[in-house]
Amino acid sequence: MKRAERSNGDVAGYMPNGDDEDEGEETEAEPQAAVVDLGIEWESDRGDAEGKTGIDVIQTLVKRLPNSPGVYRMINAAGDVLYVGKARSLKKRVTNYAQGRGHTNRIGRMVRETAHMEFVVTRTEIEALLLEANLIKRLRPRFNVLMRDDKSFPYILLTRDHPSPGIFKHRGARSKKGDYFGPFASAGAVGRTINSLQRAFLLRTCTDSVFESRTRPCLLYQIKRCSGPCTGEVSRADYEELVDEAKAFLSGKSSKIVAEISKAMQDASAELDFERAAIYRDRLSALSHVQSHQGINTQSTEEADVFAIHQEGGQSCIEVFFFRTGQNWGNRAYFPKADPSIEAPEVLGAFLAQFYDDKPIPRTILLSQGVEEQQLLAEALATRAGRKITVMVPQRGEKKDLTDHALQNARQALGRRLAETSSQARLLQGLAEAFALPAPPRRIEVFDNSHIMGTNAVGAMIVAGPEGFVKNQYRKFNIRSTEITPGDDFGMMREVMERRFSRLIKENGVPDRTVESDSDEFPAWPDLLLIDGGQGQLSAVRKILGNLGIANAVTTIGVAKGVDRDAGRERFFIPGREPFSLPMRDPVLYFVQRLRDEAHRFAIGSHRARRKKEMVRNPLDEIAGIGPGRKRALLHHFGTAKAVSRAGVDDLMSVSGISAAVAKTIYDHFHEKG
């Protein structure tokens, strides 16, 4: 047996934010957090278990297991991890699987599919719990409870690396020097709070480069949402006082700040300085706006996360509320993937261990009901946080009201989701009937292009399934080919299809459509392709799929705009069938229109983002050896990139940091040699 080699003093350390995007394919949703290399060495002695499956392989392996805490993995014949579990005693836990009786249907299936097991011994059960949570997020075994949404939370950042600090929305690693306040449940909650704080404390939100280049106050100063530190409209001392007030407000001293501003307003009014009094009045109004939009006001809960779980219709919903500095900073609903047979305490406990694997942990965690091994979970979270963590189920008072409110929200969120899922299932069934599909599609991909006269061309793919739009599967394709005639939609679609399906074949192989899959995982291969276009676009796509050898692996349908491009008169093109239209009020027609409109929205948004990036690109960015420092020095000296392009070598050398060689490089970049 081998122990887990710990990274940075912890078995399962925090997972830094990162991305895992395909080259040339970018997701709209935020990428999931990357998992650190844990350096785990698994005991993998098959021995007499070679060739056996199910109970036989488990009974063979259990003989050599110790009575020590650790983590185990159950693996099928294809090498896929089925389940990750932790145990106080590996021998006793695995022995339960080997007995072959008293199992639920879920565990019975898991045992039958097991062809191999791997183990790692840890020093304590707490280490085993931390390691288990990290591995579940990394491996996503189908029989575990899984978090479906692992986006990082946004924060408010008050910078400390500038003489005039700014207030910004921040997401990701906390690498920038400053004070972080959060987490907030959504970017919208952060945006609304910052907007109100701007009016209350008049702090800047511009970037440092914009701040340095201002010669007169911007529009935000004119509409009283910034005090104008960039051009000296406010003194350094007065601005620092505003920053301190904002920091105190976000740190929970809101009543003190409100009282101070109120007194200043009354003093200004007593002195008949009504203009200054009006400024204080507007600041008070902005602060009351922040507090009134918190929904719940607490008196005794300074820092806590509130969790409530509700189960219905074979699904689970966990509602999370965030309280920091006595203020409610929003809530979010999660729908973890779990077998319907798993009870709420097990689902909630597994969810909590994964939830805090890469997030800051508050001092108090309030639950609507107890979870399995609650004390062990609290000790594990305390180990990770480095301080005491209280996990409790309140029975009375304000904290009980908070969990009851969260539970009510969980019921409502799950009710909405069940209604949407039921409606989506009916639409997919209707889609299958309207287009004569063998079964309702589990994955639909819709493609569209966007460009202006062929410039900044972008292809877009959106994905939909039984639960609606799957935004973390969206992809955009920056058109790269130089052989495509500008504006050639057929050529752009050809490039998109070739890149999309060549990579899909490489990563997942070609599916066998004759064998029905029993996996409940969201499929990688689409069952249906919707192409925005008529017979010409459809034929081009079918030809590409045929060249790749997958013409029969996916159903393809062309959707052409109707007469006068009116919605409701669309024509549908399917190989082997005459073009047809659906009745004007058919729900399936509305569903297809929603899919097409979403693809159009995503394509246009991607195109605009690329065009904006091209518009703000500076010619100096294209010169080798010109980094941010030299670029800033050149612009400060000459004013514009155009002036730099006209400068001679001697003029360029007069700029600090520009040597003769660099000056020659810059000059040659803008002047072609004869």
Concatenated DSSP letters of 609-640: HHHHHHHT--GGGGSTT--HHHHHHHHHHHSS
Average pLDDT over residues 35-63: 63
- Enumerate the β-bridge partners of residue 77: none
Task: Kindly tell me if the per-residue pLDDT of 264 is higher than 60.
Answer: yes
> Among 230-239, 255-264, 554-563, 569-578, where is mean pLDDT lowest?
255-264
Homologous superfamily of the 444-614 domain (CATH): UvrC, RNAse H endonuclease domain (3.30.420.340)
**pTM for the full model?**
0.69
For the chain, give the mean pLDDT: 80
Q: Any idea what the Cα angle at residue 15 is, between residues 13 and 16, rounded to 5°?
A: 130
pLDDT of residue 463: 93
Fold of 619-670: DNA polymerase; domain 1 (1.10.150)
> Among 28-32, 241-245, 381-385, 542-546, where is mean pLDDT lowest?
28-32
Task: Kindly tell me if the per-residue pLDDT of 133 is higher than 70.
Answer: yes
Peptide bond into 575 cis (omega under 30): no
pLDDT of residue 378: 92
Hunting for tokens 């514009």 — which residue is that?
640
27 in the Ramachandran plot: left (φ > 0), alpha (ψ -120 to 50) or beta? Answer: beta
Task: Kindly tell me if the per-residue pLDDT of 253 is higher than 60.
Answer: yes
**CATH 3.30.420.340 residue ranges for the chain:** 304-416, 444-614
Task: Kindly tell me if the per-residue pLDDT of 101 is higher than 50.
Answer: yes
Task: Kindly tell me if the per-residue pLDDT of 207 is higher than 80.
Answer: yes
Q: How confident is the model at residue 10 (pLDDT cuts 50, 70, 90)?
A: very low
Task: Kindly tell me if the per-residue pLDDT of 72 is higher than 50.
Answer: yes
Do residues 114 and 367 touch, judged by C-beta distance below 8 A?
no
In the chain, % of residues over pLDDT 70: 83
Average pLDDT over residues 321-348: 86
**CATH 1.10.150.20 residue ranges for the chain:** 619-670
Q: How confident is the model at residue 13 (pLDDT cuts 50, 70, 90)?
A: very low
pLDDT of residue 351: 92
Q: How confident is the model at residue 429 (pLDDT cuts 50, 70, 90)?
A: very high
| DSSP letter string, 173-217 | ---SSEEEE---S-HHHHHHHHHHHHHHH--B-S-HHHHHH-SS-
In the chain, % of residues over pLDDT 90: 17
Average pLDDT over residues 255-278: 78
Residue-wise pLDDT tens digits, 431-484:
999 898 888 999 999 988 776 655 667 888 999 998 888 888 998 888 777 666
**CATH 3.40.1440.10 residue ranges for the chain:** 1-144
Q: How confident is the model at residue 16 (pLDDT cuts 50, 70, 90)?
A: very low
Task: Kindly tell me if the per-residue pLDDT of 84 is higher than 70.
Answer: yes
Highest mean pLDDT among 102-111, 210-219, 365-374, 415-424: 365-374
Task: Kindly tell me if the per-residue pLDDT of 58 is higher than 80.
Answer: yes
Task: Kindly tell me if the per-residue pLDDT of 565 is higher than 60.
Answer: no
Q: How confident is the model at residue 628 (pLDDT cuts 50, 70, 90)?
A: confident
Quick one: angle between helices 125-139 and 344-355, nearest 10?
A: 80
| DSSP letter string, 513-574 | TTS-----SPPSS-SEEEEES-HHHHHHHHHHHHHTT-TTTSEEEEEE--GGG-TT--EEE-
pLDDT of residue 562: 66
Q: Tell me the CATH architecture of domain 304-416.
A: 2-Layer Sandwich (3.30)
> Among 52-66, 294-308, 323-337, 347-361, where is mean pLDDT lowest?
294-308
> Among 135-149, 225-239, 283-297, 332-346, where is mean pLDDT lowest?
283-297
- What are the residue ranges of helices labelled H in 19-140? 55-62, 90-99, 105-113, 125-139
Q: How far is Cα 469 from Cα 230, in angstroms, rounded to an integer?
A: 44
Structure-model confidence comparison of residues 525 and 452, the more confident one: 525
pLDDT of residue 35: 32
Average pLDDT over residues 164-176: 85
Q: How far is Cα 322 from Cα 350, in angstroms, rounded to an integer?
A: 19
Structure-model confidence comparison of residues 369 and 172, the more confident one: 369
Q: How far is Cα 501 from Cα 571, in angstroms, rounded to an integer?
A: 26
Highest mean pLDDT among 49-53, 447-451, 590-594: 590-594
Task: Kindly tell me if the per-residue pLDDT of 505 is higher than 60.
Answer: yes
pLDDT of residue 307: 95
Q: Tell me the CATH architecture of domain 1-144.
A: 3-Layer(aba) Sandwich (3.40)
Contacts (Cβ under 8 Å, ≥6 apart) of 84: 71, 72, 73, 74, 132, 135, 136, 139, 141, 144
**What separation, in Å, do the N-terminal and C-terminal C-alpha atoms of the chain show?**
72
Q: Is 215 exposed, middle or buried (0-12, 13-18, 19+ CB in 10 A)?
A: exposed
Average pLDDT over residues 139-152: 82
Sign of CA pseudo-dihedral 476, 480, 481, 487:
positive
Quick one: angle between helices 125-139 and 374-385, nearest 10?
A: 80
pLDDT of residue 21: 36
